[in-house]
Amino acid sequence: MNMNPRFSLPILAAALLAANATVPAHAAERLAVSASHTLDIARPGEIIAIPWSQVAAGLPRALAQQIVVKDGAGRTIPYQVTNLSPMAKDPTMAGAAYGELLFQHDFAPGEKIATFTIEKAGATVPPFPPKTYARFVQERLDDFAWENDKFAHRTYGPALAAPAPPGSDKEVLSTSGLDIWFKRVPYPIVDRWYNIGHDHYHVDEGEGIDMYNVGPTRGAGGTGIWDGKRLFVGTNFKSWKILANGPVRTVFELHYDAWDAAGTKVAEVKRFTVDAGRYFDRIDSTFTFTGPAQLTAAVGLNKKPSDKGQEVKVDFSDKRADGSLVQWVTQRSFGDFGVAVIVPTASGITSDERNGLVTAPVVSGQPLRYHVGAAWTRGSPFATRADWERHVAEEAARLRAPLSVSVKAGS
C-alpha cells in the first residue's frame, strides 16, 4: 500500500526529452535557476519545483541521486526528486515517471529574486536529514501521523472506530477530524512520541505536547458536506497511500468510504502535501458523488479545541476576502496556540454547534484545495493573536502570488 518514490533507478532519457522542456536539449555543465516573486514579505520555506524533464533535457543522463543543487552563495542545499505517478505508467521501471526536482529557499523581506545552480555530482549524494515524514501507525489503532519541522498532525483509522469487545477498555472514536501535535523542536517526533506512549505525549516533557481536542468535531481542517443548515461528515479513513516521504516534501493520500449527505452518497480522497519550514499544509480533497451537479463542502475548526479541561478563551476571526478562518486559543497554562484554514475558493463562512466552517462549492471528481495551519507560543515565533493573524494573512498572500521559476543552461 505504501508507494514511496524510487530514487535509484536510471533515467530513460528518450522519454524525458520528448516531454515539453523549456531548456535547450544540448549538454551543459550546469543549469541556472532563477526564482522570483512580487511580494515584500518574508517567504520562508518556499519550494522551488522544476520538472525532472527539464533537468534531464539540460543535463542528459543526470541521475536523481547524483546531482548537486547550490544557492547563489555556492552552498549545497538539500533536494528531493518526486515520482507521484503510479509505477504502472512506467512498466519499464526506468524512471521515466520521475516528476519534479524540489528544493527550498527562505526569502527575506524585500528579497525578490534568488538564483541557484544544478549540476551533476559524479557520485551518489548521501541522503539529506528528513524534515517531513508520514506513516501509518497500525500499533496505535490505525492512526496516520505526519509532521514537518514546525508541527505535527494525526488522524484516525478503522481500528479506532471498531466496536470494543465486551468487557474491553478499548478506545472507540468515529471521526474524520484532524488532530494537532504541537512541537517545540525541529527534529522528527512522531515515532518518538508513539514509542513513549499516551501518558507522556500528553505532557510537555521538552519536545512539545498533544493538547488539542478533536472528538467528533472537524478538529483542525476536517471536511464535510453542508446543506445550509447541517453538516454531514464521514468517519475514519479506510485506506492510505504514501507517494513521497521527505526530506523536504511529504505527499500522501487518505481514502474515506462514502457517507450519506442529505440523500447523496459522497466519498472522499484527501491528498496532503507537507513541506518543510512551513506552518501550513496543503490538502486537496476530491469528493465523488452522483446526482447533483455540485455540492457545498465545508472545512472546519473545532470551537472547543483546548484539551486538559483548562480555563480557556477561544477567539475566531474570519477574513472573507482571503477565504480564511483564524482561531486563537488562550489557555491558563501550556501556552496559547493558533489554528487556521485558508480556502481560496471559499463561498462563505458559517458554523454549527461544534465547528466554525468555511464553505466552498465542489464538483464530483474535482479537488477542493485548502490549507491548514497551526502554531504554538512555546514552539513558534508567534507570541500573540495579532502575530498569528498576520502570518495567516501573509500565507494567503503567498498563495495568491506564487513564485515564477526559470531554468536555462549554464556553462
Half-sphere exposure of 190 (CA within 13 A, CB side): 25
Give per-residue pLDDT as tens, 220-266.
999 999 999 999 999 999 999 999 999 999 999 999 999 999 999 99
Give per-residue pLDDT as tens, 40-91.
999 999 999 999 999 999 999 999 999 999 999 999 999 999 988 655 455 5
- Which alpha helices (H) appear in 5-137, and where do they start and end? 13-17, 52-58
Give per-residue pLDDT as tens, 101-155.
999 999 999 999 999 999 999 899 999 999 999 999 999 999 999 999 999 999 9
Give per-residue pLDDT as tens, 276-285.
999 999 999 9
The set of residues, in sequence order, having a beta carbon less than 8 Å from that of 343 and lying 6+ positions away, is 299, 323, 324, 358, 360, 368, 370, 371
Q: What is the rounded distance in angstroms from the CA atom of residue 24 to the CA atom of residue 409? A: 7
User: What is the pLDDT confidence band of residue 411, given thresholds at 50, 70 and 90?
Assistant: low
Residue 11 above 50 pLDDT? no
For residue 365, count other CB atoms closer than 10 A to its CB: 10
- pTM for the model stands at 0.90
User: Cis before residue 247, ω within 30 degrees of 0?
Assistant: yes
Q: Is the dihedral of CA 136, 139, 141, 145 positive or negative?
A: negative
- Identify the pLDDT of residue 3: 43
| CB-based contact 47:104 (threshold 8 Å) | yes
Phi-psi region of 388 (alpha: psi -120 to 50; beta: other; left: phi over 0): alpha
- Identify the pLDDT of residue 198: 82
102-124 burial, b if ≥16 CB within 10 A, otherwise e? bbbbebeeeeeebebbbbbeeee
Q: What is the rounded distance in angstroms from the CA atom of residue 356 to the CA atom of residue 155? A: 19
| Average pLDDT, integer, range 382-394 | 97
Residue that has been written with the C-alpha cell 465542489 in this structure? 362
- Identify the pLDDT of residue 332: 86
| CB-based contact 205:334 (threshold 8 Å) | no
| Average pLDDT, integer, range 204-210 | 95
Task: Enumerate domains of the chain plus CATH numbers.
Answer: 13-123 (2.60.40.1180), 133-400 (2.70.98)
> Which tops the pLDDT comparison, 98 or 67?
67
State percent of the chain over pLDDT 90.
81
- Identify the pLDDT of residue 7: 37
Lookup: cell for 254: 487518505
Residue 20 above 90 pLDDT? no
Per-residue DSSP letter, 212:
B
Residue 26 above 70 pLDDT? no
Q: What is the rounded distance in angstroms from the CA atom of residue 63 to the CA atom of residue 104? A: 20
User: What is the pLDDT confidence band of residue 343, given thresholds at 50, 70 and 90?
Assistant: very high
Q: What is the rounded distance in angstroms from the CA atom of residue 338 to the CA atom of residue 329? A: 6
- Identify the pLDDT of residue 315: 86
Give per-residue pLDDT as tens, 271-328.
999 999 999 999 999 999 999 999 999 999 999 998 766 667 888 888 888 999 999 9
- Identify the pLDDT of residue 24: 41
- Identify the pLDDT of residue 306: 87
- Identify the pLDDT of residue 323: 94
Provide the strand spans (E) within 196-294.
208-209, 220-226, 231-232, 239-245, 249-261, 264-275, 280-288
The whole-chain average pLDDT of the chain stands at: 90
- Identify the pLDDT of residue 85: 66
